[in-house]
Amino acid sequence: MKNCTASELLKMVNDYLDALPYERKPASLYEPIKYVLSLGGKRIRPVMMLLAYNLYKERPEDILSSACALETYHNYTLLHDDLMDHASMRRGHQTVHKRWDENTAILSGDSMLVLAYERLALCAPDKLKAVLDLFTETALQIGEGQQYDMDFESRNDVTEEEYIEMIRLKTSVLLACAAKMGAILADAPDADADNLYRFGEQFGLAFQLQDDFLDVYGDPKVFGKNIGGDIVSNKKTYMLIKAYGLADGQQLKELQKWISATAFDPAEKIEAITRLYNEIGIDRLANEKINFYFEQSQRYLALVSVPEERKTELVNYMNEMLHRQY
């Protein structure tokens, strides 16, 4: 039985998305959708679904509509996230509300959500209820995670546990959904589908923590967006929460000065907070936390009842994503 490589699956996903017709009118509603989906990205959710499916069955191309439904949904959330965060760049290109306007970002995003359901409904009829139930629960959780994220903006007492739960809901559950949905569509045993869900969930925590880390320590030319955005906006990340908890008196005073400042030079703030993170050892703690969740994900993957050699592509892909610089 042939295992497709992640690169082969990524090409399948990109080719499928590029070939999707947008024949409905008005074009002004669908043009931003085509634009967003043409910008590329890691496509980790559809690739993970196809890799999970390929553990059990050949021809992952048979479930491309479902895989690309998740990618369509994910990009819908990014459209609205960028608007809420006032972000100007995504994947090295202008965000939709900057290239068009805010109303277009809202309406085109809403249409992407509907298109995601339409594409999911193309799956095998006997799998439709399980797939839609999983996806709907996941979509509700992601909204809950986004609301927690917004609620945290006005709080300086967010705990590490609260933050981890927020990113589990906002980011992890969609990766978990992708892995489990691939298993469901491949007729995998229920226990395997559940373990693949937990695998995706734990990996998703590592993935988001890595994203937060790269927002501070990444290269903007590689990362595809401006570095330090989380610092400038006082976003409650694992790193900021840990800094609050571990800073000594002088460090805490400086940290609070920057957090409470209403007028500041963004580059100066980024430099100052990053220096504090380095002094406190936040970069090391963040990497330890990333590795912890990655190891947890591997434990769940080990419980999946297929030969270890069948898991090689999935393991390689997860390693590549964990050590990414983008």
pLDDT at 5 (0 to 100): 95
| Backbone CA torsion sign across 54, 57, 61, 62 | negative
Average pLDDT, the chain: 95
Name the band, by pLDDT with cuts 50, 70 and 90, for residue 325: confident
Contact 143/81 with Cβ under 8 angstroms? no
In a domain, 1, yes or no: no
pTM across the whole model: 0.94
Mean pLDDT of the 317-326 span? 86
**In this predicted model, what pLDDT tens digit does every residue of 33-46 receive, in sequence order?**
999 999 988 999 99
- Residue 173 pLDDT > 90: yes
* Calpha distance 253→55 (Å, rounded): 52
Task: Give the separation between CA 129 and CA 259, rounded to whole angstroms.
Answer: 47
What is the span of the domain harbouring residue 215? 6-322
Question: What are the tens digits of pLDDT across the range 226-277?
Answer: 689 899 989 999 999 999 999 999 999 999 999 999 999 999 999 999 999 9
Q: Which CATH number does the domain housing residue 101 bear?
A: 1.10.600.10
Total of domains in the chain: 1
Query: Residue 158, Cα to own-chain centre: how many angstroms?
Result: 21
Mean pLDDT value across residues 21-50: 95
CA-to-CA distance for 35 and 19, rounded, in angstroms? Answer: 13
Query: For residue 128, is it within any domain?
Result: yes
Amino acid letter at 273?
Answer: I
Within-domain flag for 16:
yes
φ/ψ bin of 307: left (φ > 0), alpha (ψ from -120 to 50), beta (otherwise)? beta
Task: Report d(CA 202, CA 298) in Å as an integer.
Answer: 9
What does the pLDDT average to over 120-140? 98
Q: Is the pLDDT of residue 222 over 80?
A: no
pLDDT value, residue 61: 96
**What is the rounded average pLDDT of the residues 200-218?**
95
Instruction: Examine residue 288 and state whether it is found in any structural domain, yes or no.
Output: yes
pLDDT at 187 over 90: yes
- Does 177 map to a domain? yes
Given a cut of 70, whether residue 63 has pLDDT beyond it is: yes
pLDDT band at 117 (very low <50, low <70, confident <90, very high): very high
Residue 215 has pLDDT above 60, yes or no: yes
CB 228 within 8 A of CB 216: yes
3-state secondary structure of 82: helix
